[in-house]
Amino acid sequence: MDQRDQVKNCERFVIIADARFAALLASIPPDDDPEDQASDLVVWTFEPDVVYSALEYLMARVTAEHPYAAKPFAEAVRASTPKATSLHLTLGVTTKLALLLQEQAERETAVNRIATTIRNSLDLAGTLQTAADEVGRALNVKCCAVRVNGDLFGSEMTKRYFRGDVSLETADVEFLGNLETISQRVATLPDMQVVDGDHPQGESPFAHAVVPLIYQGGLVGLLLVRTDDPARVWADNELMLLRTVADQLTVAVNQARLFAQMQQLALTDELTGCFNRRWFEMQFERDLQMANRIRQPLSLIILDLDNFKEINDGAGHESGDLALRLLADSVRANLRAVDTAVRFGGDEFVVILPQANIQGALIVAERLRSRVEQIEVPGFGRLSASLGLATFPVHGSTRDTLMMAADRALYSSKELGRNRVSTPPDNFRSMPTRSAGSRLDAEPKADLIQKV
């Protein structure tokens, strides 16, 4: 298109446009200096919107400065572009705006879902998985991972998201290896790290962004997103999303840590470190149901220190506390990983033995009795303990019947001289129940002392 001034100015506009590329070539008329030459400026973009915006501006300027040329210029523009530029511009801007609003809405929804999960649940594993899924989908990445360091909860926790078209068999192994390297790098420099088209890293075939999870100045984990398009450039709002989610996850990690501490305090005996009676009431019922479901035995041992009152009265309560701690350590050291020691109250301990029959429980109980017998408390001397055991389903099928059977067996050990292991007698259901104020620790007759 050529627009010529009556005098000497010559303006030229050349438009190149298709579905994927658009460019506008515009000339600048020379000044009065004869040495000045008319020069061309090019406005171009891979999206036509900028060119159409420039045309709108030029049409408005021509109308204002050269009214006589406005109509021919507008006709030339329409002839060069099959559709009206205003329609092109409106559609382009509207479509882009709609896409931006949709992306923003999806990201806000992802953040809200993560926040809701954190508010409504103390399940850290579930929260981390929700965060990985939501961020991965919102940013349309190949994979996303959230990792929490192991020093907070005893073991490292990693949750991952992979795009639907990714083969998990090979991608997971490769991704975990890369995650280890990135984790070490973040541990050295705990700051946001970005690798993309604007921030390349060697010949990396990926673009990724990593945000550390920082709590009270310490690194507690990281959030990582990765795409298989190395030319991708992370937008500011995408990096802001990652920072926002990282802040939320830091809160979730701290909440989970506090809950774990409170749970530990609520279910653990402070003196011995064993689980307490509250935990026993919850766990034993679950273990019993599992034993019933898989048709496996389950044994219960009740252990009671002999002459504990004499330790407190003769050597002092500090020695009594030491005796309980030494006893608890000895019991835990001689159990399997699946077995559990509980301080039931006072000097009485309970041991749960999943998948242990009577014969196996007797071996464990005798080993415990023998180890307790080797414990020496300063100012008092060696300890001893009486033990009673019961087994599901031989001696009962409910919590109460098994506890009663083990209690009767312990009663027998006390009556028969202490420092021994007993099983329930055949008539244990008709025997009297030990009362809290019973004096079973009265000195036994010498001829009744026996050991299994």
Residues 441, 323 share a domain: yes
Q: Are 411 and 429 in contact (CB under 8 A)?
A: no
| Candidates 123, 347, 426, 447; catalytic one | 347
- Judged by average pLDDT, the poorest of 21-25, 75-79, 98-102, 121-125 is 21-25
Q: Which domain holds residue 172?
A: 122-265
Instruction: Kindly list the distances between the CA atom of residue 435 and the CA atoms of 407, 440, 442, in Å, as whole numbers in the listed order.
Output: 11, 10, 14
Residues 299, 193 share a domain: no
**Domain end position, chosen among 195, 230, 265:** 265
> Within a domain: residue 297?
yes
Residues 231, 148 share a domain: yes
pLDDT value at position 81? 63
pTM of the model: 0.54
Cα atoms in the 13 Å half-sphere on the side-chain side of 270: 4
d(CA 328, CA 119): 38
Residues 308, 203 share a domain: no
**Domain end position, chosen among 265, 300, 330:** 265
CA 264 and chain centroid, separation: 19
CA angle 38, 41, 43 (to 5 degrees): 160
Instruction: Kindly list the distances between the CA atom of residue 129 and the CA atoms of 207, 374, 377, in Å, as whole numbers in the listed order.
Output: 22, 49, 50
d(CA 273, CA 265): 10
Question: Could you give phi then psi for residue 349, rounded to 5 degrees?
Answer: -120, 150
> Within a domain: residue 202?
yes
Residues 137, 67 share a domain: no
> Within a domain: residue 336?
yes
CA 366 and chain centroid, separation: 42
Q: What is the pLDDT of residues 245-304, one digit of tens each?
A: 999 999 888 888 888 888 778 888 989 999 999 999 989 999 999 999 999 999 999 999
Tokens linked to 242: 């990652």
Tokens linked to 436: 């809290």
Residues 245, 192 share a domain: yes
What is the band of 39 on the pLDDT scale with cuts at 50, 70, 90? low
d(CA 221, CA 212): 6
pLDDT at 437 over 50: no
pLDDT value at position 86? 53
d(CA 62, CA 78): 15
Q: Are 376 and 393 in contact (CB under 8 A)?
A: no
- Provide the domain count of the chain: 3
**Domain end position, chosen among 20, 55, 82:** 82
Q: What is the pLDDT of residues 362-410, one digit of tens each?
A: 999 999 999 999 999 998 999 999 999 999 999 999 999 999 999 999 9
> Within a domain: residue 433?
yes
d(CA 324, CA 318): 10
pLDDT value at position 84? 46
Mean pLDDT of the chain: 81
> Within a domain: residue 192?
yes
Residues 165, 135 share a domain: yes
What is the band of 435 on the pLDDT scale with cuts at 50, 70, 90? very low
Instruction: Kindly list the distances between the CA atom of residue 396 and the CA atoms of 151, 359, 392, 429, in Å, as whole numbers in the listed order.
Output: 42, 16, 6, 10
Residues 295, 189 share a domain: no
> Within a domain: residue 108?
no
347 labelled catalytic: yes
Please state whether beta strands 421-422 and 143-148 pair in parallel, antiparallel, or not at all (unpaired). unpaired
Instruction: Tell me the CATH number at 218.
Output: 3.30.450.40
d(CA 304, CA 415): 13
d(CA 292, CA 297): 8
Instruction: Tell me the CATH number at 390.
Output: 3.30.70.270
Q: Are 338 and 364 in contact (CB under 8 A)?
A: no
> Within a domain: residue 24?
yes
> Within a domain: residue 383?
yes
Q: Are 357 and 393 in contact (CB under 8 A)?
A: no
Q: What is the per-residue DSSP string for 407-445?
A: HHHHHHHHHTTSSSEE---TTGGGSPPPPTT--TTSPPP
Residues 215, 161 share a domain: yes
Tokens linked to 25: 């070539």
Give the helix, strand, coil percentages of the chain, each rounded to 5: 50, 20, 30
